[in-house]
Amino acid sequence: MNKRDDEFNNLNRHYGNVSFGLGIGLHFAPGLIGSLYGLSLDAGGIHKARQLGVELLMLGIIPWLAKKDPRTSALRVIHIGQLIGDTGGAVVALVGQFSATVRFLGWVGVIAYLVLASGFGYCLFKPQH
pLDDT band at 129 (very low <50, low <70, confident <90, very high): low
Using the predicted structure, report yes or no on whether residue 85 has a pLDDT greater than 90. Answer: yes
**Between residues 84 and 59, which one has the greater pLDDT?**
84
> Do 53 and 25 touch, CB atoms closer than 8 A?
yes
Q: What is the tens place of the pLDDT at every residue in 24-34?
A: 999 999 999 98
pLDDT of the residue at 24: 94
Residue 120: how many other CB atoms lie within 10 Å:
25
